[in-house]
Structure formats: C-alpha cells, structure tokens
Amino acid sequence: MGRTPCCDRAAVKRGPWSPEEDEALRSYVQRHGSGGNWIAMPKKAGLKRCGKSCRLRWLNYLRPDIRHGGFTAEEDAVILSLYTQLGSKWSLIASQMEGRTDNDVKNHWNTKLKKRLLAAAATSSPPPHARLPAPAPASRTAHVSASSLFPSLAIPTVKTEAYTYDDFLAPALGDPFAAADGSTSAASAASSASNWSTADNGASEVSLFLLDFCAGPDLGAVAAADQLKLPGGYYYPLDSSLSPV
C-alpha cells in the first residue's frame, strides 16, 4: 500500500540542481509564474524534475527576494522569540523575517541556535529559567503568550508583515523593562496592538544571557564601542541595563 507518489520517480531527475536547470526554472517562473500548477510546470519548462522539487528549488533558492548568507544577532533573537511562542512553526517564523525561508530558519535553528543555547545554558551559570525554550504546543492559532522562560525579553507578537530591526526596539513610550505587574500573558494580550508584549520586572540575568547568546562572545566589545545605540532612540532591548538615549 502506501501513498501514491506525486510523480514517477524513475522518470525524474533527483539530487542537486545544475546551473542550467536553475536557469530554465528561473526564466520560466519569471515569465509565466508557476501557472498555478507545480506538477505540470516542469514539463512546460523543459525540466525533468518533480514538481515538488521545482517548487522547493524556487522557494528556497531561486526566488529573487531570498537573502543568502549568515544570520544576524537580530535575526537570531527573532527566531528565538518566535520559537518560544510558536514552536517549530518554521514557515510562520520565516514569514516574519524578510528574505528567509522556512528551510533556512529550520537549518539555522537545528545546526546553530539550539546548540548554542544548550551550551550557554550548560555553562556560565545561567539564570534559573534560562533553559532551552520548550517549543510552544502545536496550535492552529498563534496565540500570544510571552514566554515565561524569558520574561525579560520584549517579544513582538506575530504580525503579518516581516519584522524589521525596529520591532525589537523599545516601544516609543516608556521603557520595556519598566513594567512590573508580573502579569506576562495579560500584558501580552494588552500590548498586541502595538506588536509588543511587555517585559516584566527585569530579570536582567536572563537579558544578559540572551544578549550573550544572540551576539556571541564579542558582545562586550560591541556594547563598549556603543555600536548598539540605535536610530530609534533605544538600545536593543535584551539588556535591561541599557537605557533609552
């Protein structure tokens, strides 16, 4: 029994794409789009590939808006924040980040962020709640309950557009670390309109831990050089000891 294959495996090429195949796919999609049918598209484009393979190649590699290359500390923070809210909803997480694909984000998490976080938690006497964030339970709706694991991290709630660096700056009014009502989920709900969940009374240890985590070992030097001062008037909010400028 088993599932019907989406295409005849014997008849399609598999494995890495050649530059010629890339060019054929790119030029076809740019001229005609996928035609609303990825299964039929390879034949039309003269490719001996499975439609699913073409779709994946286009979405993950050939799309003109794809950003290749390393992830920044800000992107790491976005991923970490959203992972604590959403779990392994990679497509949802990637949709919040300009030019990144779900595959990219997933690979980055599995190969780098997860290990880094585990290593950081295992050493450097992390604060009690600085553990590898448990993924949020699978849920149809991306409900916003700011992670109790990282109460001091200001977490933007999920929105439909891509995040920008500004989304991780403090809100225009007030210091995100000033709120001290301790009611994280209520604060999150109340602040959803402004894309912010309010940080609680600064577990600055956690903030520093995360800042270290996101920025790596050279953070101290960066902070000392004042390079984290941002045009929006705030520092990157992981470190509660930094104040609005």
Q: Judged by CB under 7 A, which of 10, 37, 141, 173 binds DNA? A: 37
Compute the half-sphere exposure of residue 25: CA atoms within 13 Å on the CB side of its CA: 27
**Cα–chain-centroid distance for residue 92?**
8
Q: Judged by CB under 7 A, which of 28, 42, 51, 154 binds DNA? A: 51
Q: Cβ contacts of residue 182 below 8 Å, gap of 6+?
A: 200, 201
Task: Indicate the residue among 14 and 31 with the shorter CB distance to DNA.
Answer: 14
Q: How far is the CB of 146 from DNA (least distance, A)?
A: 20
Question: With contact defined as beta carbons under 8 Å apart, do 94 and 116 qualify?
Answer: no
Cα separation, 199 vs 213, whole angstroms: 18
Q: Judged by CB under 7 A, which of 115, 118, 181, 221 binds DNA? A: 115
Q: How far is the CB of 158 from DNA (least distance, A)?
A: 12
Q: How far is the CB of 148 from DNA (least distance, A)?
A: 21
Cα separation, 56 vs 204, whole angstroms: 42
Q: How far is the CB of 96 from DNA (least distance, A)?
A: 12
By the rule CB under 7 A, 91 interacts with DNA? yes
Task: Indicate the residue among 16 and 128 with the shorter CB distance to DNA.
Answer: 16
By the rule CB under 7 A, 88 interacts with DNA? yes
By the rule CB under 7 A, 31 interacts with DNA? no
